[in-house]
Amino acid sequence: MLRRPLAAHPNRSAFRLSSLAIALALTPAAAHAATSLGEVQAQASTASPGGTGHFFLQAPAVTVDYVPAAELAHVQQFTPTATQAQTRITAGQLRQLNPTASFTQALNNMPNVVVVSSGDSQNGDNVYINGFNKSLVDWTLDGIPLNDNDNYTIYTNEFIPTELIGSIGYLPGAGSAAIPGVAAFGGSVNLYSVNPSARPSATLYTGAGSFGKYNGGLLVNSGLLGGNTGAPTALWFYANKNHSDGYFDNTPSDQKQYLFKSISQIGPGALTLFYTQNNQDFGYYGGCTAADLAQYGERCNSYRGAAVVGGKYNAGSPDFHYNQYQNWLGYVKYEATLGSTTVSDQVYYYRGNGFGGGASSAASSRLLLPGGTVASVASGGLFVTHGINSTRRVGNLFKLLTPLGADLGLEAGLWYNQNDTRHDSQYFPYATGQYAGSSYVEPVSTRLTEPYAQLTYRATPALTLQGGLKYLSTTRDFTNLGALAQGKTGNFHTDFSTLMPSLGVNYRIADGLNVYANYTQNSEPPAYNQFYSGSFNPNLDPQKARLYDAGAIWKRGAWNGQLDVFRVDFQNYILSNNVVIAGVNSSQLQNAGTALNEGVAWQNNLQLTRALALYANLGLLNAHIDTKNSPFPYAPRHTLALGGVWTQGPWRFALGANYVGESYYVFSNYATAPVQAHAIGTADLRYTVAPHALGLQQLVLDLNVDNLFDKRYDVSYGGSSSNPYIYANLPRNVYLSLQARF
């Protein structure tokens, strides 16, 4: 049961002991196991077999001023009782990153993972897991699915900075029916935000590094509020600015972030409020030299020339080519334990709005006018375009955990998501600056409903069986307003439904040695824009896959590890095929493809001494699109990560190297270009001044070096297979940061 309201314990030390209300970690009592759900620690000893009741996804016991020592000693942790491959990427690994980088850089050490930055990680990364790109991976933040329901991608720079992530739950394999989301062919990546602390504080963040990068921010933690109100509350607020002149391409980027989280104990449970906002300007256009940066300023990119040349507007000026984006995400969650049953309900809202700026020198263009008609509009020699992408998303995630017997537990839930997006390519003749019309306007509405149920049966003290079922129903309506204005077909409606089972087993062979096996089916409905590539195909079906993995988890003295063997049989893969329609040759996307992704992931921790911990992770991968006789992009046959963490008093030093074997970039016509094998070194040196020195709670100096040996290789390609241009990787770069907590 929960303890009495914290009004009875007004002092901080007592609050720390009774911090169920604000999600600090508890040591399980002898007769009860504490359920950690991120926001409330509820006694649910019979909600799951063996007194280990918990929802499938669990948040870590990390606050703004506290990280468990075990998570600082190792970059990864394993779950011995899991029925599938699981890794917790720890706060210790996240704290080693450049503070302006995307959280996805923390995945670099994982076997068979490739993280690609065609520019600066601050602007987002592309991630490939077991050969699958990020739109074929399920991403969540505090349980909320993050994939864009239009195209299932994720913009990794949007949501949360690394210093506010407590840990990352990484599941590269078959997964579980209890994970909400749309696609998990490459697995699931689950982010957990840090919780507020019982102790008030204000932390100043600042830093600077290579290529004009700097950051500055403030994190304010309230400590205990309302201790005598019956609804004790703690909260934090964060504001930050990141800036970069750009790495190899000198394309400036400016990012501002604002986040808030509060936790209140109300009745038998906890109420959590969360909000994040991201505002960013950045370019996709290749870059410019340092001299160009001085000439053109923040809007500098690969375009050249003044806005007006010889009395005429210049479509090639950088003044007309830039990007802006804003997004907001918030949720309200209440979670409580009533008797032996734990329930949770989480309502969330996402809003994204932005545009890519461009220009055209066409004298006229055929546009959809504000009045709803289509006509050719003269531009006076130049159109400035805003490619608008405006998204509104609202959803609800309900979960229930309850016992069905002494050895049988049930977790069940329902995820609902409504996603409305408007794609609008707007034109503004420069002579007037007034909106003239749009080359296309396409509203899209997608509704997802996904109930699930999962049973866990403790057959013997050593044997656990788990079975689940998830059902996804998808309804999408999308409209081509330009086609309707011309009397053509413009309204489209699609419905998809898929049943996805999962089965898993875990068996403890001996103390410190468990084996597991898992089978899961997964599915992803077609993205809305896949219907429009070439000739419209109304008969596209969801992509499907059968996923298998099996392995072992062990702890033998100083050696802790996990070995996983996996296979993904990909069916209904959507590929472009040549077709003849009404006697005309065309291309059409069809469910015509099959693919195979299989391999081995071997992860190891070695605690040599109390001060020194090492890790070694090996990946072997065979990923192939059978139908096109083509490799998956960024799917190397070998990856290797080696490194260590040394901690001595106030010093912490981490050194690592990541090797990625040769892989391929794959163009739209399935032609390939090589991405060379490469090994990248990283180093991080952190010094923490003793508490209360200089009148501070804590002072941390951190020196981060990426690409330690300045290794150069091709990262990715642009253009076409006949006329490609190459992006190089980031050169060696250094970043020095400071954290001062008052």
**Signed CA dihedral, 627, 150, 192, 407: sign only:** negative
Q: What is the pLDDT of residues 359-400, one digit of tens each?
A: 888 778 889 999 889 998 887 778 888 888 889 999 999 999
Closest CA to 342 of 59, 82, 46, 143: 46
Q: Tokens for 370, please give them.
A: 């504000």
Q: Which two structure tokens, joined as six digits, stand for 378?
A: 């003269």
Report the pLDDT value the prediction gives residue 1, as an integer from 0 to 100. 27
What is residue 353's predicted lDDT score, i.e. its pLDDT? 85
Let me know: does 394 contact 418? Beta carbons within 8 Å. Answer: yes
Under DSSP, the state recorded for 210 is G
Look at residue 11 in the predicted model and tell me its pLDDT. Answer: 38
Distance (Å, rounded) from C-alpha 41 to C-alpha 336? Answer: 9
Task: Give the CA distances from residue 255 to residues 94, 386, 437, 698, in Å, rounded to whole numbers and listed in that order.
Answer: 20, 20, 30, 27
CA atoms within 13 A on the CB side of 35: 34
Which H or E run includes 378?
strand 374-378
Q: 298 exposed, middle or buried (CB, 10 Å; 0-12, 13-18, 19+)?
A: middle
The gap between the terminal CA atoms of the chain, to the nearest Å, is 35
Which residues, other chains included, contact 209 with Cβ-Cβ below 8 Å and sequence gap of 6+?
A: 98, 704, 733, 734, 735, 736
Query: Quick one: pLDDT at residue 577?
Result: 76
Angle, alpha carbons 309-315-321 (nearest 5°): 120
For each successive 10 residues of the chain (742 residues), what is the average pLDDT? 30 36 32 30 38 64 87 91 94 90 94 88 89 93 91 87 94 88 90 94 95 94 89 96 75 89 94 94 60 70 78 80 84 95 96 82 86 86 83 96 94 96 88 87 94 96 96 92 87 91 97 97 85 71 93 96 96 81 76 91 96 97 90 94 95 96 87 92 92 81 95 81 76 94 92
Give burial (CB, 10 Å; 0-12/13-18/19+) of 364: middle
Q: Are 587 and 576 in contact (CB under 8 A)?
A: yes
Kind and range of the H or E run holding 387:
strand 383-403
Strand partners, 522: 545
pLDDT at residue 283, as a whole number: 61
Alpha carbon distances (Å) from 662 to 129, 320, 332, 634, 678? 15, 38, 45, 8, 8
Phi, psi of 49 (to 5 degrees): -55, 145
In this prediction the pTM is 0.89
The single-letter code of the amino acid at 163 is E
d(CA 158, CA 136): 18
Q: What is the pLDDT of residue 34?
A: 30
| Paired residues of 403 in beta bridges | 409
What pLDDT was estimated at residue 42? 31
Residue 196: DSSP 8-state: P
- Model pLDDT, residue 40: 33
**pLDDT at position 286, please?**
54
| Distance set, CA 391 to CA 235, 275, 326, 423, 447 (Å) | 28, 17, 11, 9, 13
Distance of CA 715 to CAs 119, 134, 248, 496, Å? 9, 16, 12, 37
Q: Maximum CA pair distance of the chain?
A: 84
The residue to which tokens 């940061």 are assigned: 737
The per-residue pLDDT for 9 is 33
Cβ atoms of residues 393 and 416 within 8 Å: no
Q: Give the pLDDT score at 532.
A: 64
The reported pLDDT for the residue numbered 206 is 97
534 phi-psi bin (left φ>0, alpha ψ -120 to 50, beta other): left
CATH numbers and ranges of domains, the chain: 6-283+322-741 (2.40.170.20)
How many other C-beta atoms lie within 10 A of the C-beta of residue 725? Answer: 10
Chain mean pLDDT for the chain: 85
Structure confidence at residue 337 (pLDDT) = 93
